[in-house]
Amino acid sequence: MTPAAPSIEAGDQPGAEASAPAPDTACVHCGLPVGAAPVGTDPYFCCSGCEIVYHALHESGFGDTYYRLSDVAREREPEPAKTSIDPLVLSELDTDGFLEDHTEQQADGTRTADLFLDGVHCAACVWLVERLPQELDGVLAATLDLPRARLSLHWDPDACRLSTVAEWLLQFGYVAHPVRQDASESRTEGERSLLVKVGVTWALAGNVMLLALAFYAGLDVSGDPGLATAARWLSMLLATVSVGYGGGEFVRRAGASIRLALRTRSLRSLHMDIPIALGILVGYADSAWSTVTGSGEVWFDSITVLIAALLTARWLQLRSRRLAGDATDRLLSLLPSMVRRVGPDGTVDTVRLDEIHRGDLVRVPTGEVVPVDGVVASGESTINNAVLTGESRPESVRAGSDVAAGATNLRAPLDVLVQAAGPESRVGRLLDWIHDGAAPRARVASLADRLTGYFVSGVAVLALATALIWWWIEPSAVATHVVALLVITCPCALGMATPLALAVAAGKAAQAGIFLKNESATQHLTEIDAVVVDKTGTLTDGRLSLIDAVGDEQAIDRAAALEAHSTHPIAEALVRARGSCSRDGSTGAGRTDPSQVAPAVAPTVAPAVGPVVEDVDAVSGQGIRGRVDGHDVIVGRPDWVRTFTSTWPDDPDRFTEWAEHGHTPVAVAVDGRLAVALSFGDALRPDSADILSMLDAMGTDVSLLSGDHPTVVSAVARSLGLPADRARGHVMPEDKQAAVERLQQEGRTVAMIGDGVNDAAALQAADVGIAVEGGSTASLVAADVFLTRDGLSPVADLFRGADRVMGVIRRNLSFSLFYNVAGAAAAMSGVVGPLVAAVAMPLSSLVVVTSSILQRSFPSPEPTGSPAPGSPDRPPTHAPSPSP
């Protein structure tokens, strides 16, 4: 079955020669809207990546099956296909060092490895990826784990190289990268052993319940002494295993908590495990005594079910935590650990970063990230420090300039003399600091744990009261009723109320592109009353783009055609603003960010009828001139362009005004006349203003701290309606951290939203650190919450979701407390027996479980095709451009 061709809305555009599809027509490959500038002619694609993959699938004969399966089990957000991969990652896959560190050799010389695979999202992906063994000789087995986007590969290194596998996957739009810094192994191990405990305790509980059923059905010691005694002893045997194997965890943690409480002399150190352990131990001891003496009640069934249910809740919580852990691993593994080293004879070879030493020479091609701290040895270029310092304007570097790891090289290749690499570089040291600093942070008592002190005291008082009352009524029944009280008030539902709600919320949040790395963040988010926001890359895109243009539209296109011959960042921004999205379809472009592909590529994909450009002359630091379609075109600094124009309007204020706003003004002259005035700058994200007004409406104090120039910062603050005293520029990373800590000392609960290396310390110090999409490694590691959805709208979802989760938790806690009070009253009046406990306890837990699962905290992602054309949800590279 071939995919249905998209409907062509010819009627809407009468007179159009080849009528373009409606912007919301689904891309034939990925299903996202094609936008205003679709690629291809019937079928239409959203980008050339999808087009390439579509044809690759059909040429290899996979097309029919792929598109038949692609709608099955499509629970994940599809993305436009990527067809380029970092050549450094590819070359690393074949190095001996990589094979040694990240793959495992089997007895027969074959190897196994895990790779992350970006772009897998549906049944068709599973089918296609798992065809690897049939398609490539040397691949023995390929198993895809779809939720984790991990491919387990078993291959013969002599018959097939790993890079060949990656290239095969790439032609269908899957980008493979190695699994690095893998913490998932230990997480999996922890999950598995807890899951075994859950299974064993449920099996024991089930059998104990069966035996208990016999007692409830009428079996008793007087009627059939032999059978009843045997059943009791057997129950005790099973319950002993359950208490010792499953319940031991609660007892151990309760003991630790009591010791801590004694040391700190504070009820606040008590946590929920204490009443749980107390209920289990008292119930078990009393039942064991009844079994031995042959008289009294046995509670074994209630206890074993309690243990199994609580372990299940704990396992679910653990499992939900792996979502954030896996996502972190995946993002961190994207960093290439290969470097281009320039040898003494001038040859360039790629080596692993850990083989680089001080004094080596490293080449950084255009568009790549500088991998080391060092000094430029040769070359002249512009680098973007936005991630490191927050400066939005690119900085020029030449021989002798210092460059730091993490900066992006924008214009021309650079050779850098290494001064520090890896962990010794500034970014490396910062990462170490964050890792070390993460541990001693004070554990925040969760809401449920804060209740525990009161809860334990309350239960103790009630137990005493019960003892006194029954001592007075009937002394022989004291023990029975006190035990009944302790068992029935054992806070099963209370202990599950928080973890379950948080576990379900973490799963829903992850589906919405929000990853909660630590659970106390959810609670803190509802208490935030001060927010510190970074500017570059957070409120803004973090790169130059065309912000404003006044003048002749055609002249802009001519300027863009001319600028396509330059590699200046401004030229790149202009070409990007006027070009189509198809650039990232060019294969083999070795860039980490397809949007930063040098404009030199643009002419190759420009339509054949594009303008003719001749006599190009780029003047460094001033601008560029040339002939476009027979017209003289000059683009550059206004004062430079002015020297070529005979007439200059009397309204030069526009340029000064733009400069005052922190933007870069550019003039375009055509045939000796000023034709258009352009303004370039770091564009605000479309949703920035909404977020700030939402935070404001929540009653939080928002302050803007940026490392960028104060003029730019105050201009951004003005356009966002932020008071001038709340926005500061030239803020050092240490000052950001200090600012956060100062707010905390004033008693505020502070959230920090940022993306850069310079934000990492503040993210770490804040009560909740939120790293936005595309942030630096350091911010990702330091943050408590990170976003994988573009823009700032997930921040709003995060705050709203956290509010709702806390609502669910409060609802759960109130219900559990109500249940416990009712249970205590019943036990004191003497109506609670083992049967009542066996029915009431699971019922209360069931209510809490249902309430947690049915929560509507985070919005689940819309089905395919949700983002409106040109909406901020789309990657910036696919922004529709006006048709020429």
Asked whether position 123 contacts other proteins by CB under 8 A, the answer is yes
| Contact pick of 195, 221, 659, 689 for other proteins (by CB under 8 A) | 195
Q: At its nearest, how many Å lie between other proteins and the CB of residue 116?
A: 14
- Of 121 and 352, the one with the shorter C-beta distance to other proteins is 121
CB of 210 to other proteins, least distance (A): 7
**Per rule CB under 8 A, is residue 145 in the interface with other proteins?**
yes
190 binds other proteins (CB under 8 A): no
Least distance (Å) between residue 148 CB and other proteins: 7
* The only residue of 8, 56, 99, 140 in contact with other proteins, by rule CB under 8 A: 140
Return the residue of 143, 401, 518, 554 that touches other proteins, per CB under 8 A: 143
Stretch that binds other proteins, among 43-51, 227-235, 681-689, 713-721 (CB under 8 A): 227-235
**Helix (H) or strand (E) segment spanning residue 402:** strand 402-403
| Helix-then-strand count for the chain, H and E | 30, 27
Residue written as token pair 């191990």: 189
CA atoms within 13 A on the CB side of 832: 28
Q: Is 447 in the site for other proteins (CB under 8 A)?
A: no
Neighbours of 355 (CB within 10 A): 14
Number of neighbours of residue 143 by Cβ within 10 angstroms: 14
Which residue in the set 79, 130, 167, 632 belongs to the binding site for other proteins (CB under 8 A)? 130
Nearer Cβ to other proteins, position 133 or 325? 133
Looking only at the bridges linking them, the beta strands covering 402-403 and 373-378 are antiparallel
Cβ proximity of 802 and 506 under 8 Å: no
Instruction: Give Cα 16 to chain centroid, integer Å.
Output: 43
143 or 419: CB nearest other proteins: 143
Stretch that binds other proteins, among 226-234, 399-407, 716-724, 735-743 (CB under 8 A): 226-234
Q: Does 444 bind other proteins (CB under 8 A)?
A: no
Asked if 350 and 534 touch (Cβ cutoff 8 Å), the reply is: no
205 near other proteins, judged by CB under 8 A? no
DSSP 26: B
Q: How far is the CB of 69 from other proteins (least distance, A)?
A: 7
Q: Which of 19, 60, 171, 207 binds other proteins (CB under 8 A)?
A: 207
Cβ-based nearer residue to other proteins, 231 or 739: 231
Can you give the three-state secondary structure of 605-656, one letter per residue?
HCCCCCCCEEEEEEECCCEEEEEECCEEEEEECHHHHHCCCCECCCCCHHHH
Q: Which residues contact 742 (CB under 8 A, 6 or more apart)?
A: none
Query: Has 273 been annotated as catalytic?
Result: no
Nearest CA among 157, 134, 132, 135 for reference residue 143: 132
Binding of other proteins at residue 742 (CB under 8 A)?
no
CA 742, distance to chain mean position in Å, is 28
Query: Looking at beta carbons only, is 242 or 749 nearer to other proteins?
Result: 242
The two tokens of residue 6 are 């998209």
Q: Is there a cis peptide before residue 884, judged by omega within 30 degrees of 0?
A: no
Q: Pick one of 138, 199, 413, 884: the residue that binds other proteins (CB under 8 A).
A: 199
Report the length, in residues, of the chain: 884
Residue 692 in tokens: 């700030």
109 vs 344 by CB, closer to other proteins: 109
Residue 793 exposure: Cα atoms within 13 Å on the Cβ side = 14
Q: Which of 210, 285, 468, 831 binds other proteins (CB under 8 A)?
A: 210
Shortest Cβ distance from residue 473 to other proteins (Å)?
Answer: 38
Ranges within 228-247 binding other proteins (CB under 8 A): 230-231, 234
- Asked if 703 and 532 count as a contact pair (C-beta separation under 8 A), the reply is yes
Under rule CB under 8 A, how many of the chain's residues touch other proteins? 41
Does 104 contact other proteins by CB under 8 A?
Answer: yes
CB of 307 to other proteins, least distance (A): 15
Q: Which of 229, 155, 134, 150 is nearest to 187 (CA)?
A: 150
Please pick, from the candidates 10, 16, 141, 619, the single residue that binds other proteins as defined by CB under 8 A: 141
- How does DSSP assign 449-513, residue by residue? HHHHHHHHHHHHHHHHHHHHHHHHH-GGGHHHHHHHHHHHTS-HHHHHHHHHHHHHHHHHHHHTT
Cα 720–Cα 722–Cα 728 angle in degrees, nearest 5: 110
Question: Which of residues 134 and 222 has its CB atom nearest to other proteins in the complex?
Answer: 134
Site string for other proteins, 482-521 (x = CB under 8 A): ----------------------------------------
Locate all alpha helices (DSSP H) within 333-398, ordered by sequence.
Answer: 386-389
Nearer to other proteins, 6 or 246 (CB): 246
Q: What is the CA radius of gyration of the chain?
A: 33
The answer to whether 688 and 541 have CB atoms below 8 angstroms apart is no
SS3 category, 282: helix
| DSSP structure string for 91-107 | HHHTSHHHHHHHEEE-T
**Is residue 318 a contact residue for other proteins (CB under 8 A)?**
no
β-strand pairing of 727-728 with 701-705: parallel
Region near other proteins per CB under 8 A, out of 198-206, 242-250, 656-664, 876-884? 198-206
Contact flag: residue 144 with other proteins (CB under 8 A)? yes
Any contact of residue 133 with other proteins (CB under 8 A)? Answer: yes
| Residue with Cβ nearer other proteins (230 or 468) | 230
Write down the catalytic residue from 114, 286, 534, 784.
534
Q: Which is nearer to other proteins, 117 or 251 (CB)?
A: 117
Which residues in 54-73 contact other proteins (CB under 8 A)? Answer: 69, 72-73
Q: Min. distance of Cβ 165 from other proteins in angstroms?
A: 14
* Interacting residues toward other proteins by CB under 8 A: 69, 72-73, 104, 106, 112, 123, 126-127, 130-131, 133-134, 140-141, 143-148, 152-154, 188, 191-192, 195-196, 199-200, 203, 206-207, 210-211, 224, 227, 230-231, 234
Catalytic annotation, residues: 534
